[in-house]
Amino acid sequence: MTFRSPWMLVLLVVVPAMVAAYRATRQRRSRRTAALSAQGLVVTSHSRIGVRRHVPFALFVAALTVLVVGLARPMTSVQTPRREGTVILALDVSNSMKADDVEPTRMDAAKTVARAFVERQPPAVRVGVVAFGDGAVVVQPPTSTHADVIKAIDRLGTEGGTSMGKALVAALSAIAGKPVILDPEALASDSAQVDIGFFGSATVVLLTDGEETGRPDPLSVAEVASAAGVRVHTIGIGTAAGTVVELDGFSVATALNGDLLEEVASITDGSYYEGNDADGLDAISKSIDLRFKVVSEYTEVTGLFSAAGIVLLFAGALLSVLWFGRVI
């Protein structure tokens, strides 16, 4: 258990002070009663009331302790069922995304589509971001704080070649919450039998021009994703006619490879859309499978402590009135 306002616990020093004051008061009463008894003015008896007389005070002390702890705003880990889905946006940041066959550039168009997708998602959908070129890296782990996702998208630049296979591996790692390492031999023999676990509420949205230049084979990794229950949707950025990009003094022709993107999506029962298809974003959003899962999260339990303190106070007051006709 942790506390949001731990300095309030200093008020607990009042508890031993109250106990000491109560003991001193009881001792003074006992001496007075003994003195009066010696003079024959009162009659003393050892009945069960001697045991009971301390119960209300004990309840009041317990109530005070609980209420002070409540003032410190305690927090504890609570197992909570929550309807949740996970989406990983994998954005191509290779040099071919500098092409301007879509305005202003493919990279800017991909960012616009990604931002629009994030803004459509409810809080129940956790979104993460993978940037990929020759390699792939998780630049934003899955989070329900969508503002952080948009900031991660805005920071992306362009460089290097394109490896959709590595992008999918990084996305699966972000979904699984641990590094996914795929054996090349296993991928080559029967990638659909590679077991990384099952993540039926997870989706990957791949935004790229589809110009594959690296390994591993994205179709083989898509088979692994399909076996894990992860649906991959692809969004093509660019035009089939393509254009020419100047890279390091060389003119390089580049065009949208929609056929490859459509094949990657179909392996996982996903869909392929072009970047200018607004209805495609809606369709992807509606296809996200939200499932109930039990998650551990820190929750403030001040209310529970307050309720317990009030119950203890009420019980102490009730017993004191019933037994002694007064409160303490």
Give the pLDDT score at 15.
Answer: 86
* Confidence band of 43 (pLDDT split at 50, 70, 90): low
Mean pLDDT across the stretch 309-315? 90
Does the predicted TM-score (pTM) go above 0.75? no
* Confidence band of 216 (pLDDT split at 50, 70, 90): confident
% of the chain surpassing 70 pLDDT:
89
Higher pLDDT, 91 or 34: 91
Answer whether residue 34 shows pLDDT above 80: no
Asked if omega into 216 is within 30° of 0 (cis), the reply is yes
- The per-residue pLDDT of the chain, averaged, comes to 84
**Phi, psi angle pair for 231, to nearest 5°:** -90, 135
Higher pLDDT, 327 or 305: 305
Mean pLDDT across the stretch 133-141? 91
Give the pLDDT score at 108.
Answer: 92
Give the pLDDT score at 45.
Answer: 53
Query: CB count, 10 Å around CB of 48?
Result: 7
Secondary structure (DSSP) of 267-288: HTT--EEETT-HHHHHHHHHH-
H or E element: which one contains 79?
strand 74-92
Answer whether residue 40 shows pLDDT above 90: no
* Confidence band of 39 (pLDDT split at 50, 70, 90): low
Domains of the chain, start order: 2-76+298-324 (no CATH), 93-289 (3.40.50.410)
% of the chain surpassing 90 pLDDT:
29
Mean pLDDT across the stretch 148-169? 90
Which amino acid, residue 200? Answer: G
Higher pLDDT, 209 or 26: 209
Higher pLDDT, 258 or 325: 258
**Closest to 3 measured CA to CA, from 213, 300, 310, 308:** 300
Give the pLDDT score at 328.
Answer: 63
Which of the residue ranges 140-149, 190-199, 284-293 has the most confident prediction, judged by mean pLDDT? 140-149
* Confidence band of 53 (pLDDT split at 50, 70, 90): confident
Give the pLDDT score at 128.
Answer: 94
Contact criterion met (CB below 8 Å) for 291 and 85: yes
